[in-house]
Chains A and B, each alone.
Chain A
Amino acid sequence: CSFSVEGDAIKVYVRVRPPSEGTVLTDGDQSLCLSVLSSNTIRLHSKPEPKIFTFDYVANMETTQESVFSSVAKNIVESCMNGYNGTIFAYGQTGSGKTFTMMGPSDSDNFTHSLRGVIPRSFEYLFFLIEREKEKAGSGKSFLCKCSFIEIYNEQIFDLLDSASAGLFLREHIKKGVFVDGAVEQVLSSAAEAYQVLTMGWRNRRVASTSMNRESSRSHAVFTITVESMEKNNEIVNIRSSLLNLVDLAGSERQKDTHTEGLRLKEAGNINRSLSCLGQVITALVDVGNGKQRHICYRDSKLTFLLRDSLGGNAKTCIIANVHPGSRCFGETLSTLNFAQRAKLIKNKAVVNEDMQGNV
């Protein structure tokens, strides 16, 4: 396998969307705040010095949907067939092209559209691989795919497949890991069916508009497909299961205020105004006291807890950071690139306690 040699660090892809229609592009255009230098570097025209960022992959404005899918998601879907858990995050400011990248153009029938995004293509590829496996193995191998679709809003969990349900809870099972207690699970038999479930749930999401932003999603949405394979070899039954998580993070411009800050990365500044956030401040102080035994009363955010495996276990994870090249978006673009830069540092950590290192 090709992936056994790669490290566990999270892969980060940056995609630059074209400016809105009607704007003519010329090289060195003053209205652009960045240029793509190569397939993994980007230059931000900051003052006084321009800033160069390096990522695993940078997709420029001409990059096709197909090419984004092949370089970002293909590998992860394949690993998923091999029993790994995989997660794809989309991150970026509202209007930076997140939905286009993940879902495709906002027409009704994305599933057959030539510009369809990463998610429908992942579905197609997953079911293509499953069919191929089945053919190869004959009747000895069978697959079961299920999906759930939840939304995390204000640290509460809602089921997008059952809009009548109240808040749900995260729980852990000693054999099965973290799960959302009571979330609807739908059995899937084809890519088209998966897409149908996804679009149905997508409509239930919470969005909001302000005079600054036209429409911004205020919640994180997590679409999870469980792939279970069962192989019979004589009398021995071999069951393997893995998860594929497709995560649409809330518009990055809103994160600081709603405290739904997705991945707990060290944020640069931003004062919490409410005294009731004092605990978060203290928690940050305790985090520094490394090596010592301590207990933090405040859990990780719901999102990090749910995706703990993707951020620190045996999983393949990538982040697609979407940016808008317009100079008016400079601030947000900078903060997205900074976030993406930090995300590269998250490693799938499996540290053994200091205390357990034993005496000689």
Chain B
Amino acid sequence: MKTLVLVEHDNSSVKDATLSTVTAASKLGEVHLLVAGKGCAGVADAAAKIAGVGKVHLADDAAYEHQLAENLAPLIVDLMGHHDAFLAPATTTGKNVAPRVAALLDVMQVSEIIGIEGDKTFVRPIYAGNAIATVESSDPKLVITVRGTAFDKAASEGGAGTVEAVSGAGDAGLSTFQGSELAKSERPELTSAKVIVSGGRALKDSETFKELIFPLADKLNAGVGASRAAVDAGYVPNDFQVGQTGKIVAPEVYIAVGISGAIQHLAGMKDSKTIIAINKDEDAPIFQVADIGLVGDLFKIVPELTGKL
């Protein structure tokens, strides 16, 4: 089977989510990549070095600069004439583009797979991860998004792919990019961090969140996450949110501070290797999934913990 993987990049480097998707694709067959963007030849060269990669299709055009689905989807559909499966990371970019491709190919997408059981058989979580479904596709072509935390990352060196320029129809004339407000962070990216410290509503306000959670995260070289309640209350921006509708993470260690553990939050972190919970309510649902729990006042515990590390 020939697979086509959408490379997620920021015009300078390949994002980690792509590497996990390459691993999933390699279980299905030959791996080809698509790098679409403007002035992204460097990304294509880097992508060609990913272990196990064959051809890298490079579509360099202003129309692809911001990964607009309206422009990208027809390009991918064209390439699918020579491929049997299209895989994209289950990031906001992948989730935006892949279903548009699937509908144009008249096939059902298999969303956010966590396992591959056969050429057409995939495992995916449903109901906020409270059930795991195994599904078999009957479509002639596959369109799949891949949950990054469920597959190891392919090595970013050692491959010997060849870059080949491709062109598509370009700008579909339906949408224009106006601008972005990207959060700047020195900390490890949430979805690839080894350790995550996450705060909930109990942190009281934005200042307290920053005073308590950030220093602890810095000590542990951890990414910072948050529950929906903390985001809704304005303690931190939305891209910190861990959960069914936010980011799905599976770090080595997840430290939940002042988070009760609602179903929707657990959906985003319950595959973490070790879960540590700090909460004053000993009946909080988070303790049912936590490997290590400490019951007590986080306003005392967190500064003490940070001080002793």
Q: Does A pair with B?
A: no
Q: Interface on B for A, CB 8 Å cutoff?
A: none
